Amino acid sequence: MQALKFLRPGRVAPFTKVTWPEPGEWLESDAPPELCRAGVHALLPDVLATWLSEELWRVELDGGEEVAPGIVVAPRGRLVARVEAWNDETAREFARACAEHVEGSPPGRAADCAADAAASAEGAAADYTATTVGYMAAHAAEATAPGGFAAERAWQSRWLAERLGVARI
Amino acid sequence: MRELICQELVEVITDYLEDRMPPERRLLFEEHVAFCSWCRTYLDQMQDTIRASGSLKQDDLSPETRDALVDAFRNWNPDGV
């Protein structure tokens, strides 16, 4: 199956620190796939906003299974191609879009979170700083209405998938 | 499931590193690290420390350092404050 993967610079996995091999070469796990424990992990477009990192790649998974919403795990996977559209410029666009989406939030915590998002948007880059803005905006949405956090994250992920051209993988 | 805050992450980081955390909790942990630069740095430092100290051999320590470590453990009181 096709999926997406955010990596640190140099194709390094953000949590395990494993360096993925060159595109086309398989990365294999020596243990049966298990969420957050073992196996090659990747994303579906629905959850992109939560996991931003410096590099975004299209990946191919052999025997992948969705084990949590938007998260797929497989015994092996390989990089197909880097998504060049994900860069500092589009990251800032994303951050601005997140902040604008919660502009005009009601006074109190919602407005405070929205203001934080707006204040941080211009400094966002293609790393955790962009996802932090999305996180603040999602909190503004949650403070506005229960369930707003998840709804905002879903909107942000759709925005990213469309903008980066990875809505259909 | 509610989100993790930084203080909680610091309290459970050993469970994470020793793989003693259920998958749902690990997911929350990693979600937090994905957006929190402080916790990301903290996790990186812990992983680096474990890697570095895991490769130390007894002979790598100077006699002074070894004595200081032994003293520290000798005087350690787990029930103390």
What CATH number is given to the structural domain containing B30?
1.10.10
Whole-number Å distance between alpha carbons of A78 and A63: 12
Compare A5 and A36 and report the one with higher pLDDT: A5
A23: confidence class by pLDDT, cuts 50, 70, 90: very high
In a domain, B58, yes or no: yes
Share of chain A above pLDDT 90, in %: 88
Cβ–Cβ contact B18 with A under 8 A? no
In a domain, B80, yes or no: no
In a domain, B25, yes or no: yes
In a domain, B79, yes or no: no
Mutation test of the interface with chain A: which of B35, B41, B43, choosing the one with the most A Cβ atoms within 10 A? B35
The answer, yes or no, to whether ipTM is higher than 0.90 is no
pLDDT in tens, A56-90: 999 999 998 999 999 999 999 999 999 999 999 99
CA distance B56 to chain A (A): 21
In a domain, B1, yes or no: no
In a domain, B46, yes or no: yes
Predicted local distance difference test score (pLDDT) of residue B63: 83
Instruction: Please check the confidence at residue B77 and state whether its pLDDT lies above 70.
Output: no
- In chain A, the residue whose alpha carbon lies closest to the alpha carbon of B32 is A50
Which of A71, A74, A83 shows the shortest CA–CA distance to A43?
Answer: A71
B2: confidence class by pLDDT, cuts 50, 70, 90: low
- In chain B, the residue whose alpha carbon lies closest to the alpha carbon of A13 is B34
Domain, as residue range, for B67 = 6-74
Indicate the pTM of the whole model.
0.82
Whole-number Å distance between alpha carbons of A148 and A142: 4
Residue-wise DSSP of chain B: -PPP-HHHHHHHHHHHHTT-S-HHHHHHHHHHHHH-HHHHHHHHHHHHHHHHHHT--GGGS-HHHHHHHHHHHHT--TT--
In a domain, B21, yes or no: yes
CB–CB contact B35 A50 (8 Å): yes
Predicted local distance difference test score (pLDDT) of residue A165: 97
Cβ–Cβ contact B27 with A under 8 A? yes
In a domain, B33, yes or no: yes
Based on the structure, what is the number of domains in chain B? 1
Compare A51 and B70 and report the one with higher pLDDT: A51
